[in-house]
Structure 1
């Protein structure tokens, strides 16, 4: 990827994740990235395209991190426990590649863009489906069971963010242990 495009993408992702998408204008992305407006529009047709690419970039970073965590333990129960231990690390800001925890970027983006057919919402749906497939694969679960585990994971992330509960993931470990 072009260096300037990468800089714009990383700046946009960081700003959107930290402050919210609607709260961040293109001029702020330009200021933080240090690139000219013409350069931004050379790489991204509009703000929506930048948002979608930022979501896709975050998806790539998140899934690479999660695969690394889940593939480091045996599949099945150990991987499902590792999932929530990984989420605990993220919630507690111990995952450098994900940055400071500000909830789930995909949940946050979906909340800001209610149109279910929008490219932004579709990028969020794609991410969630990909994560469910990872849970299914590494947890050795059928699709329904992986979806249920994912719902618990989503609840943990939302609780951690909205209630400032840094122990949310640890609190569900006994439940996950019992369910498996």
Structure 2
């Protein structure tokens, strides 16, 4: 891992656990083992570092998720696998996964709530990518575009709600409960 990757990885782990505004640059420097000048060479501002961690998290998340679902051809099974993956994340069954502190994108966007802020936009991009992924697989099983949009939005809300319940209420079964609801929705739409 090169120095830039080390800085991003270290900052991500610290920001995810403690929050982006609770962690100072000096702590990132100390824990990543780089000089202050090195950090500022790559990231002239803390906001640029935060943006890099959000992009890093997005890339890691979708790479892992795509490798998990790429061999599943059935749209219904793919959608259910998204919830299995979420359950594995919540319950720390993914190798090299940090403890579950909620959704990094939700957490960071709460600290940068202005929708025009670059960091907020990157977080929103992740949420839109997830919605589009769900919609793509729903379109494999439902013929009507109207139904695809409606069902995709519902599934996406269940997915996001499961994340929030797991984080705030410590409901470690939230993804499984949401998956069960999704199965019922899909079955009712297929009738």
Structure 2 residues without counterparts, runs of 5 or longer: 141-147, 187-191
Task: Look up the match of 1:79.
Answer: 78
Cα deviation 1:62-89 (Å, max 9, x = unaligned): 0111112222323311111111111111
1:136-175 equivalences in 2 (<5 Å): 136-140=135-139, 142-175=148-181
Larger mean CA deviation between 38-47 and 165-174 belongs to 165-174
Asked which structure has the greater CA Rg, the reply is: 2
- Work out the CA distance in 1 between the residues paired with 2:44 and 2:8: 13
Equivalent residue number for residue 6 of structure 1: 5
SS of the residue corresponding to residue 96 of structure 1 reads: coil
For residue 144 of structure 2, what is the aligned residue in structure 1? none
Give the ranges of 4+ consecutive aligned residues of structure 1 lying more than 6 Å apart after TM superposition: none
5+ residue gaps, structure 1: none
Equivalent residues in 2 for 1:115-134, closer than 5 Å: 115-134=114-133
Name the CA shift for 1:131/1:97 in 2 (closer, same or farther; >3 Å): farther
Supply the distance in 2 between the matched residues of 1:9 and 1:138 (Cα, whole angstroms). 32
